[in-house]
């Protein structure tokens, strides 16, 4: 079984992917890390060189062409489900889990903003408004996930049990 973790930046996709993969005894794949590995550029550098549309194209291609093992947990980028047919593709090719969080919770978790091109120059108040706006835009995509869980204080055991049900 392939499990795709989706959700807004800062909701814990990379961390939960590692924890869940450990529980399921399978590999973890972080698509952002794969992009960095393949391109030799950070996500911020890729954004700067090719713009958001160039990044989204490459990200979608990576999602659909990566040689996934039969069983794995995949951490996706926060915007990935919202472009092209990425959400439909993930639903057709595995289990999708939306790690949902409230905007204020996300603000409290997004400390290293300089590494995140979309929010690098925002203060807390601006970030809160940005998150609220983006979540409104992204919610129709995120909520297409087969499983929606509250990711605040979520442990891997609970996450695994949500997949089983």
Tokens 């973890």 locate to 28
Q: Is 76 exposed, middle or buried (0-12, 13-18, 19+ CB in 10 A)?
A: buried
Q: Distance from CA of residue 142 to its chain's centroid?
A: 10
**94 band by pLDDT with thresholds 50, 70 and 90:** very high
Q: Please say if the pLDDT value at position 114 is more than 80.
A: no
Please provide residue 153's backbone torsions phi and psi, each rounded to the nearest 5 degrees. 60, 30
Binding residues for ATP: 10-15, 116
Give the Å distances, CA to CA, from 118 to 25, 92, 127. Answer: 34, 29, 10
Binding residues for substrate: 32, 56, 78, 138
Mean pLDDT of the chain: 95
**CB 102: neighbour CB atoms within 10 A?**
14
Binding residues for Mg(2+): 14
pLDDT, average across residues 82-95: 98
Please tell me the predicted confidence (pLDDT) of residue 102: 97
What's the CATH class of domain 2-164?
Answer: alpha beta
């Amino acid at each position: 079984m392939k499990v795709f973790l989706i959700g807004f930046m800062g909701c814990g996709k990379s961390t939960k992917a590692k924890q869940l993969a450990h529980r399921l005894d399978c590999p973890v794949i972080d698509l952002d890390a794969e992009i960095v590995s393949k391109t030799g550029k950070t996500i911020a550098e890729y954004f700067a060189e090719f713009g958001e549309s160039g990044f989204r194209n490459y990200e979608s291609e990576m999602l659909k062409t990566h040689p996934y093992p039969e069983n794995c947990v995949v951490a996706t980028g926060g915007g990935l489900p919202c472009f092209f047919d990425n959400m439909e593709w993930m639903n057709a090719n595995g289990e999708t889990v939306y790690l949902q969080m409230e905007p204020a919770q996300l603000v409290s978790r997004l400390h290293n903003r300089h590494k995140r091109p979309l929010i690098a120059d925002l203060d807390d108040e601006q970030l809160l408004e940005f998150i609220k706006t983006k979540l409104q835009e992204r919610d129709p995509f995120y909520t297409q996930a087969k499983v929606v869980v509250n990711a605040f204080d979520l442990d891997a055991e609970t996450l695994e049990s949500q997949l089983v049900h």
